[in-house]
Amino acid sequence: MSDHPPAERPDDEPDPLEALFGGQVPPQMREALESMGLGSLDPSQLQQMRAQMEMLLGGGGGDDGPVNSTLAHDVARQVVAQAGDTSIGDATRRDVEQVVQVASLWLDQVTDFPRPDGPARALSRAEWVEATLPVWIRLTTPVAQGLQSAMNDAMQQQLGQLGTEGMGAIPGIPPGMNPAALMGQMEPMIRRMSASMFGGQVGQAVGALAGETLSGTEVGIPLLGDESVAMLPANVATFAEGLEIDGGEVHLYLAVREAARVRLFAAVSWLGPQLLTAVEEYARDMRINTEGIEEAVRSVDPQDPEAMQAALGEGLFAVEPSPAQQAALTRLETLLALVEGWVDVVSARATEPHLPHVEALAEAVRRRRATGGPAEKTFASLVGLELRPRRLRDAANLWSSLEAAGGPSGRDEAWGHPDVAPTAADLDDPLGYADRRGSGEDALTISDEDIERLLSSGDDPDAGAPDREG
């Protein structure tokens, strides 16, 4: 019999073990649990343990993906609610619609790219979470998959070192149990714990970003999945408080930037997918700090998910990027710089005739980027990526040079195809790129060269074909 008999309880007080496990507990299991002191839990301990078990087993949402999207959603909404969020009233929605309408009219004068089809949207922080979370889940899934694999490998290594004879050292595990059999039982739990851990991280990061981001695509990536021009009025108002400029002017300037960015993504169909792919490729090749994972497995109680999450979150990513990551990072930084450089130039052209403090507002945006904006912090915590357009000044010079040589049309034609869009090498020599574009040197794509070579081969069907003999 147990040395810890259950304490007497009033008839109307629930059995803590039945409450914990959701029903009758078999006598043998009850005796084992009571021997560990679990038969006399007070309500607060019971609630905490149930929460930990739900987290460990996947949050109760039936979400089997590498990232527990249900938990990510709930945590993000909770972060937003705790920080404070207000619903958007009709008057605010009308204000945003009018501001975006004016911004679109100004942009019509400085770019040939057409207006996007999407509406103007005034978003609360919670609405921004709802609208963008699917893309965040997509971008972080490759890292979550790597984390699951690393946790499995670390656990297998630890069990392998114990061996069959050492299994009895683990509480509750009978001596002589096959480590492979135990690992087979533990793998589903590890997957759920990893998905919950990463889902919680995503929720925390996205919830925090919702409190700072000013508009739908401020991060430089099309997060909303449509062509709407979205503003977060509460965050815009907070940003304007730190400036000695009328709030209406600040809102107009930021709306022009957002409308320009959305217009660019809508007109250049290849741009958004390439940005998202570059982030995914970087994340897919992210090397997990396996030594840190192994140390967490050794030092943390596996029955304490919060402690495990904290331990795994510290130093999760390897410091040095792989060659594949470096290539993806260079491509991503170049695209981000080109996007933000184009937005800087076009927004300046659109607002200078109408707003008195354009330079001060542009400087405020530059300072926000230089100090590591909310997007950079979010990507650093989720995929180990410093998302910063480092070559922004070079990109702005390139777009200005193209504009000076060929007007707005000459500037925007450089987005016509990814094969002729500016590269990192072109950012080294913006004037040279503009000269080459002006002379038509970059107008010929690889496929055009192939066609020209085939045409020059005359009627000989074998001319220019590879030698098949040998």
Could you list the pLDDT tens digit for every one of the 470 residues in the chain?
Answer: 444 444 445 555 566 556 555 555 555 445 545 554 555 555 555 555 455 555 544 444 445 688 899 999 999 999 999 989 989 999 999 999 999 999 999 999 999 999 999 999 999 999 999 999 999 999 888 888 877 777 777 666 666 665 555 554 555 555 555 656 655 666 677 777 778 888 888 898 899 899 999 999 998 899 998 899 999 999 999 999 989 999 999 999 999 999 999 999 999 999 999 999 988 888 777 666 666 655 665 665 555 555 655 655 555 555 567 788 788 888 888 999 999 999 999 999 999 999 999 999 999 999 988 876 666 667 776 766 666 677 899 999 999 999 999 999 999 999 999 998 999 999 999 888 988 887 765 544 444 554 454 455 444 434 443 343 33
> Is 283 domain-assigned?
yes
Coil, helix or strand at residue 121: strand
What is the model's pLDDT at position 30? 55
Single residue among 345, 363, 383 that ends a domain in this structure:
383
My answer on whether 152 and 261 are in the same domain is yes
Task: Name which of 68, 218, 47 is nearest 132 in CA terms.
Answer: 218
Looking at the 3D structure of the chain, how many domains does it have?
2
What is the model's pLDDT at position 431? 87
Single residue among 383, 405, 427 that ends a domain in this structure:
383
My answer on whether 146 and 231 are in the same domain is yes
> Is 320 domain-assigned?
yes
> Is 311 domain-assigned?
yes
199 alpha-carbon distance from chain centroid: 12
- DSSP per-residue letters across 398-466: HHHHHHHHHHHHHHHGGGS-TTTS--HHHHH-HHHHHHHHHHTTTS--HHHHHHHHHHHTTT-TTTTPP
What is the model's pLDDT at position 467? 40
Task: Quote the tokens at residue 359.
Answer: 């330079």
Residues in contact with 269: Cβ distance below 8 Å, sequence separation at least 6, in sequence order: none
> Is 409 domain-assigned?
no
> Is 20 domain-assigned?
yes
My answer on whether 258 and 187 are in the same domain is yes
Backbone torsions φ then ψ of 298, nearest 5 degrees: -75, -40
Between CA 158 and CA 170 the distance in angstroms is 11
C-beta of residue 216 within 8 angstroms of C-beta of residue 225: no
My answer on whether 219 and 273 are in the same domain is yes
My answer on whether 201 and 236 are in the same domain is yes
Task: Name which of 345, 341, 289, 356 is nearest 154 in CA terms.
Answer: 289
> Is 440 domain-assigned?
no
My answer on whether 35 and 178 are in the same domain is no
Single residue among 366, 383, 400 that ends a domain in this structure:
383
> Which range of residues forms the domain containing residue 225?
69-383
pTM: 0.74
